[in-house]
Structure 1
């Protein structure tokens, strides 16, 4: 009988470094993930960090249009569309075994663009301890060293000083601003997003040595031709 990792190779991926381990979200992670979101993500007074205020939806277990069902569908969708032309890896982040946040990696037409986009968040109780910087370093390093990306792009809402600080520490440079629409609990609002980009030349590597498992399976699954020794 095939294992789950053989059926869906992204499940074999493990990116570890220091006290952190990143792995593609599984259904068994969902109860912890839901409780983490319920504990809060956004600091009071900080700008809403997402395009949609999914983290502020009323807690309504069993309701199809409330949290957590609405968010679970989105996380499952990321898994369902994962294919060479358009892929998204929703990685749960654990610090010494405890689920503390999520780190996303996604790309379209990666074979031609070699561009990976990242997004991340941490539970409020786990912010300010260096976890956000290290998890981003591990994800970006994986994109460069294991997937052969030429650059990683990200963005944050202007005024989100914590996200801006993480980007600077990892080596991102400003890459222009754009006006976007956010869907808040009070309705649609305009916001300014700062785009940032990091390349292998500007990337600030973590002090810890990353440990990767399952990278070869993921490359085959996504049709990525790259040998990690080319770093």
Structure 2
């Protein structure tokens, strides 16, 4: 249905890894992956604790969120949820969201991997791929992201790519205060990244995505 909902054709490829706009099968697979675990039970890397509950409750949270993100896309406000896929297996989710993008050229990234796929460098590759889509495909100028201070893996990926720190805030996380760090990466810093962070990336479906998003 590329003619009716062009975002369905959006693809980002790099070697054996693909980011693709989710169809219903991907969404269900992602929900089952989340039900198997996303992080250590003692931790909470998310502002909204959607990973708490029984496996069925977690899966339903993913389904509801993904369906809502898809239905809520407008040129003024959008959240692109892409499945990270390798060898036909869904590994996790990579998002890119923005408000008033045609004016601000700013968007926020977020991601998660199923627990069994963590610690393999996939998160870094996913971030570099979505940033390539953002800067080179969509004409973005300013990428933002954030993570709780105790989320070492996410903060490590962000700093490695070259984001600048952009302040902190204290949020309530499961009834307790927690510090969240904000980061920003502009076009100049992205273009100046070192050679080992320059992946061979192929984009597909970008023209249709730009049309639907009003870019």
TM-score range, shorter chain: over 0.9
Q: CA deviation at 1:181?
A: 2.2
Q: CA deviation at 1:92?
A: 0.6
Mapped to 2, the partners of 1:169 and 1:30 lie a distance apart of 30
Q: CA deviation at 1:24?
A: 1.2
Give the aligned partner of residue 169 of structure 2.
Answer: 178
Give the aligned partner of residue 93 of structure 1.
Answer: 84
TM normalised by structure 1 equals 0.86
Mapped to 2, the partners of 1:130 and 1:67 lie a distance apart of 25
Q: CA deviation at 1:44?
A: 5.3
TM normalised by structure 2 equals 0.93
Give the aligned partner of residue 58 of structure 1.
Answer: 54
Q: CA deviation at 1:125?
A: 0.9
CA contact (8 A) 2:11 2:19 kept: yes
- Greater per-residue helix proportion: 2
1:145-184 equivalences in 2 (<5 Å): 145-182=136-173, 184=174
User: Does the residue aligned with 1:50 lie in a helix, a strand or coil?
Assistant: coil
Mapped to 2, the partners of 1:127 and 1:111 lie a distance apart of 34
Give the aligned partner of residue 199 of structure 1.
Answer: 186
2:15 to 8, 18, 39: 18
Give the aligned partner of residue 229 of structure 1.
Answer: none
Give the aligned partner of residue 228 of structure 1.
Answer: none
Structure of larger gyration radius: 1
1:48 to 40, 44, 47: 44
Q: CA deviation at 1:197?
A: 0.9
Give the aligned partner of residue 130 of structure 2.
Answer: 139
User: Does the residue aligned with 1:148 lie in a helix, a strand or coil?
Assistant: coil
5+ long unaligned stretches in structure 2:
none
Give the aligned partner of residue 189 of structure 1.
Answer: 176
Mapped to 2, the partners of 1:208 and 1:118 lie a distance apart of 18
Q: CA deviation at 1:99?
A: 0.8
CA contact (8 A) 2:149 2:179 kept: yes
CA contact (8 A) 2:35 2:58 kept: no
Deviations 1:121-168 (A, max 9, x none): 111111111100010000011101111111100000001110111101
Mapped to 2, the partners of 1:71 and 1:101 lie a distance apart of 11
Number of equivalenced pairs: 211
